[in-house]
Amino acid sequence: ADQIRVAIAGYGNLGRGVESAVAQNPDMQLVGVFSRRDPASVTLLDSNVPVYPMADIEQYQNEVDVMILCGGSKTDLPEQGPYLAQFFNTVDSFDTHAKVNEHHAALDEPARKSGKVALLSVGWDPGMFSLNRMFGETILPEGETYTFWGKGLSQGHSDAVRRVSGVKKGVQYTLPSEEAIARVRNGEQPELSTREKHVRECFVVLEDGADEEAVRNAIVTMPDYFEPFDTTVNFIDEATFAAEHSAMPHGGFVIRSGETGTQSKQTMEYSLALGSNPEFTASVLVAYARAVHKMASSGDVGAKTVFDVPPGLLSPKSPAQLRKDLL
Ligand SMILES: NC(=O)C1=CN([C@@H]2O[C@H](COP(=O)(O)OP(=O)(O)OC[C@H]3O[C@@H](n4cnc5c(N)ncnc54)[C@H](OP(=O)(O)O)[C@@H]3O)[C@@H](O)[C@H]2O)C=CC1
Ligand SMILES: N[C@@H](C[C@H]1CC(C(=O)O)=NO1)C(=O)O
């Protein structure tokens, strides 16, 4: 069968992850990478894949089955998503939780007009964790659901830090409260505020002449991303940053703690331990790109979330082969 032709819009951590994830899926072909930077300045993992200017992307609509959007959620995807949904079937990793419905609406209109599918908020949270939170509250309607992340590097929060004026380099680590986890794990079903579950720790290299207090304040008061949390900001030099903050591990778990009929205690849990947050997220994006291609090919249109995707479509296996894997 013909390979699914995918392309990457935006080449950062996620873009590199998609490039390597496509290479692990023989039914897919990476036809190109689109960047806002000068293509000559963008070095890919695979030198045989062309880099094109983002400005020319419309010209490639007949060469690409699914465009995988790897821009940042804070400012890139809200602009690139609706624009690209006019020309391509798309998948993005949009993770500004407070604005997901707004993004869904902003994608749905152009996608329906162009007869395309625009799948948003794919990854692990949102994405795989979203599915597992839904399974938990649906299967165990009497109970509580908890999500814990880290300790690890949040790419969405790191991207948001990097967008603050005066920040040259930045990362954000999410640290879960071990006490909160212990209370959940022994079935207390505690009421936990956002602040009681995680703290956020940033490491920043300042642009020359930038003001520490102004940058710290812009980060810790940032709505949605940092304001609801206790956040610390550490200012370090570039050498320390390169030596100590280049890896991007992360992970976490969703747990549903509930009761059934005879008051039996039931617990459902889904956990991830990620050596590379971006490479795992990219692997989820690529699997869902396969599903988007199938949905679009069967005439489906408009904005979708992972809740709208039949799980079997993710697989390169035929329905008959999947049935054989049922048990
Ligand atoms: N749903 C989920 O579970 C997850 C979602 N995410 C989302 O993925 C988003 C992207 O994360 P990530 O890839 O780490 O973000 P990056 O900061 O690495 O990249 C974002 C954009 O910045 C530009 N860029 C990258 N490197 C450079 C550079 N050296 N100089 C100038 N511009 C650069 C690229 O655009 P261009 O090539 O056009 O310049 C790129 O698309 C996050 O904002 C987060 O919201 C991430 C992980 C999990
Ligand atoms: N979207 C997150 C993925 C997880 C990690 C996270 C956090 O640490 O706050 N929230 O969701 C990311 O960008 O890494």
pLDDT tens-place values along the chain, 327 residues long: 799 999 999 999 999 999 999 999 999 999 999 999 999 999 999 989 999 999 999 999 999 999 999 999 999 999 999 999 999 999 999 999 899 999 999 999 999 999 999 999 999 999 999 999 999 999 999 999 999 999 999 999 999 999 999 999 999 999 999 999 999 988 888 999 999 999 999 999 999 999 999 999 999 999 999 999 999 999 999 999 999 999 999 999 999 999 999 989 999 999 999 999 999 999 999 999 999 999 999 999 999 999 999 999 999 999 999 999 998
The residue whose CA is least distant from atom 7 of ligand 2 is 154
Which pLDDT score, from 0 to 100, does residue 120 have? 98
Which pLDDT score, from 0 to 100, does residue 75 have? 95
Return the DSSP state at 263.
Answer: T
Strand order in the sheet with 51-53: 51-53, 28-35, 4-9, 66-69, 89-91, 117-119, 302-304
Is the Cβ atom of 95 under 6 angstroms away from ligand 2?
yes
Q: And the tokens for 8?
A: 């990457």
Helix, strand, or coil (residue 23) = helix
Does residue 197 contact residue 267 with C-beta atoms inside 8 Å?
no
Q: Tell me the best of 157, 197, 202 to mutate to test the pocket of ligand 2, counting ligand atoms within 8 Å of each CB and taking the most.
A: 157
Which pLDDT score, from 0 to 100, does residue 1 have? 75
Distance 60 CA to ligand 2 centre (A): 32
Which residues lie with the beta carbon below 6 Å from any ligand 1 atom? 10-15, 35-37, 54, 70-73, 76, 93, 95, 123-127, 155-156, 159, 162, 277-278, 281
Is the Cβ atom of 174 under 6 angstroms away from ligand 2?
yes
Largest CA distance in the chain: 66
Q: Tell me the best of 194, 250, 306 to mutate to test the pocket of ligand 2, counting ligand atoms within 8 Å of each CB and taking the most.
A: 250
Question: 13 Cβ partners below 8 Å, 6+ apart?
Answer: 155, 248, 277, 278
Which pLDDT score, from 0 to 100, does residue 119 have? 99
Amino acid at 292: V
pTM of the model: 0.97
Place of tokens 């994608």: 107
Say how many C-beta atoms besides its own lie within 10 A of residue 309's C-beta. 21
